[in-house]
A and B are shown apart, each in its own frame.
Chain A
Amino acid sequence: MTDPLLAPPKKNPQRRSTSPTRPPEMRSRAALGLTAAAAEGRLALQCCAECATWQYPPRDACVACLSNDLPWVDFPPQGQLLAETTVQTSPRLYYRERVPWRIGTVKTDVGPIILVHIHPDVTPQSAIHLTAHLDRAGQGVLVAMPPQETSNAMDAPLMRELTADPKHRRVLLTDARAENAPAMAKALKDAGAAIIFIGESESWRPYTARAALQEIGVEFMPLDVTDTLSVQTLAGEIGGKTDILINNAQFVRPGGALARGDVGFAQNEMDVNYFGMMRLAQAFGPGMCKRTADEANSAVAWVNLLHIGALANTPEYGAFAASQSAAHSLSQSLRSEFRTAGLRVMNVFSGPTESDWFASLPPPKVLPQSLARDVIKGLQAGVEDVWSGDIAKDVRDRFRRDPKVLERELTFGGDGP
């Protein structure tokens, strides 16, 4: 059984911080299909559409019948651990710093032989359960887990490398005024976050949730994501202590271009939703990137809360949706810019939330507690893309099926299918 992870000791200020290193990043295009599924927490492999043979390693033609039709399908995770070794030395710095490292050969019940990482709770030559995760290079890897859940399993050093668990980590939640702030703060506290910094803008203007936040136990820090100096000042203060940054600052108003009549609110939307992310990234990003190998409370994740309009514009909130697309696109740039450091960018998409500015929309809407729970689960699983609530999943599925058809559905309105 895994020992529970202890709160890390205070960092020795005389010691040089461990430089970030990564496992190998290069993959063929076919192999990226595994990564794409793992990015959402799914274990998927190619299954030949013609003869139903499972393929591994990923490839371009069926190993049994040469068909090129190899869609990615959710994979039954059961298997048997046939052999294992513990790597004691490696020419790759990332592993050199982390040996001994346990790997093994699994024979899956449905066929393929898979080389895997092995969780410490797995007994040699036993039945196992496969899971897919993103490693520090942001690529999909497979892990052999014991078939039954074991206590503190996620505290194992292997799992801490593959996830962005908030336990014992220090989190910055950027907007105390957001309606989801108290639920977020509570969820983080319950998940074992060591410190919750919360950004509070315009202290000259009170807000009702402050007392509740105080009750939960957060550290209020002045922060206005529209004020460059404010962002830089806070980064100067706590940038070196920010392990997870959750940007919940959001400006939303209804209406598309014509309904608005001017660009005033759109400027606010861009200033908060897009430029806010950019300011935060410029101020906090470099410091977080330097600390991704900083022992147990390393900098590990950047979380954006995005509306599903990022994917396909929702015209009732057309201008706002455009700002979400801008933010989404920027988050993809951040993924690339943070890649070499191994800092994970996690986007949590949701449909309308149970909040003031979506009040005129019919249910289902995402409650703050649900959103918060999905953020925590996403961090604990180390995924990159989270779809919170039914609408988000629905739009995602329609978008993947055919983006143009979805565009018509969203912009046409009317009588439904």
Chain B
Amino acid sequence: MALHLNLFHEIQTTRQLQRRDPLKLSIYGLSAIAACFAGYYVFQFGRMHTINTELNRVQSQFSALEPKAKAAKKREEEINVEIKKSDLMAKRIENRFYWAPVLEQIAQSVPREVQITRLAGDLSGEGLRKCSLTVDGISAGSDPRQVAEDVRTAIAEKIGAKYKNVTSNFKTLEDGTELVVLDGKQMPTATFAINVQLTAGEDAAPPPPPRRKR
């Protein structure tokens, strides 16, 4: 076209400037950022609300369970005490030393020429227990010392068959001053005291080896 005029140019320029107005664009940008923050806030608020609800629920649950837990703990302590007592009792029962077999074997080892006047026993140690037995008596016979020796040997053999580390020693062996009638004959006597040592039970389990450090 030959001639071109546009009297709208001012309005169009103004509108174009308004469209590209940095302040307006900044406001749009900031509004968008603010909207994002608001959205994030709402999201976090909702999340916090959910967490608080969960916290309240757990707290109420905890409040409901706390007395029960205390009671359970108290009960646990009581039961532990009971268990300890029971264990102790069981241990004591299990670790008992049975004197009867020992006495039976001693009785079997004593001949008719010997009279036991005193019997004392002592037990020491846990697990592997050391038993000390003192047998006092009077032996009679043509050789009362030999009779006493036979008794000592017999006791050692008899008990040694069943127990470990059995030792049998005379603490004292003396000729007696009295005479006794045996089978219609007067015979000399000897007084003796035999100390029998033996070991009963089993060794306690060794402690576990320390863990090797890397």
Q: Do A and B come from one complex?
A: no
Interface residues of B (CB under 8 A from A): none
